[in-house]
Structure formats: C-alpha cells, structure tokens
Amino acid sequence: MSTAESDLTFRREDWYAEEFTGRRFERCEFHDVDLTEAVTRGAAFVDCVFGNVRFNASQHVDTAFTGCSFTRCNLFDAEFSGCKLVGSRFTECGLRPLRVLGGDWSFTGLARADLRGAKFQGVRMREAELTAADCTGATFADVDLSGAELLDVKFGGAELRGSDLSALDPVRAELGGAIVSPEQATVLVTSLGLHVRG
C-alpha cells in the first residue's frame, strides 16, 4: 500500500541509497537532502520543492515529479526511466551527465540548462522550455519536441535523429555538426524558405 505525505518540510535528511517504492509526496519541500544513489519506483512527487538536493547516481523508474521545482540540485549521473515530469522546472541545477529513457517531460522548464552530453531517448517533451539550453553533444533521439521553445538552443554535435524538430528555427539555433535524418533535413531546409529540387 502506498504512503501519502503532504505539506511536510524535510531538511538535511540523509537518505543515501534509500529506496522509495510507491510512496507519494504532495506539496512537500526538500532542502539539503542527500538522495545520492537513491532509487524510486512507482513513486509520486506532486507540486514539491527541491532545493540543494543531491540526486547523484540516483535511479528513478516509473516515478512522477509533476509540477515540481528543482533549484541548485545536483543530478550528476542520475537516470529517469519511464518517468513523468510534466510542468516541472529546473533552475541552476547540475544536469550532467543525465539519462532520460522514455516518459513524459512535456512543459518542463529547462531554459539555459547545461545539458551537454545528456541523453534523452524516446521522451515526450511537447512544449518544453529549452530556450538557450546548451545541448552540445547531447542525444535527443526519437524525442517529441513539438511546440517546444528552442530559441538560441545549442545542438552542436547533437544526435537528433527521429525527433520532431518542427518547432526549431535553424536561424536561431546552433546546429553545427548535429546529426539528423534526411526527413529532418527537409523540415529544416523548408523552415529556411528553401526548396529542394531533384
């Protein structure tokens, strides 16, 4: 049976390598909490606040972090598999190297985030905020970026094959060395007002 906790504040807790299975937190605050190597499975964090929380090498499986705010948190080597982060926001967080496999990150706020070398595979990121994010050398493979805010995003050397790039303005993005499919290249060329003729 899942445990529901709401409107609580946790400070300086040491939850190193703890496992959270099926637990639910609503409108809770976590400050200076150590979640290094922690594991969450089927857990839910709704409208929660995370400040200076260490998620280093943590693993999250089928867990929801919806409407949450992450400020100055460290997610070094963290992995999210099949997780839902709809509407969550990341500010001044360490996000390298981050791995995201599947799940729904729509409406997530990642403006100006340092995502160099991060991996997003098969993730739904509709209308995500990636303005001025540094995604140099990152992998965004089979990612739904429809409606995403991508102005001034840096995709240099990034793997973008299979992703929806319809919201990307190539004039307002760094794309040197990015890897795209022929179909994506056509979308980008069309957005520049060019016509490809055989």
Predicted local distance difference test score (pLDDT) of residue 4: 86
Q: Are strands 69-71 and 79-81 parallel, antiparallel or unpaired?
A: unpaired
Give the C-alpha separation, 77 to 99, whole Å: 7
Task: Work out the average pLDDT over 62-85.
Answer: 98
Q: Is the pLDDT of residue 3 over 70?
A: no
Quote the pTM value. 0.93
**Which residue did the predictor score with more confidence, 63 or 193?**
63
pLDDT digits (tens, 9 = 90+) for 135-166: 999 999 999 999 999 999 999 999 999 999 99
Q: Is the pLDDT of residue 2 over 60?
A: no
Q: What six digits make up the tokens of 79?
A: 């992995």
Predicted local distance difference test score (pLDDT) of residue 108: 98
Identify whether the C-beta of residue 175 lies closer than 8 Å to the C-beta of residue 154: no
Q: Is the pLDDT of residue 192 over 50?
A: yes
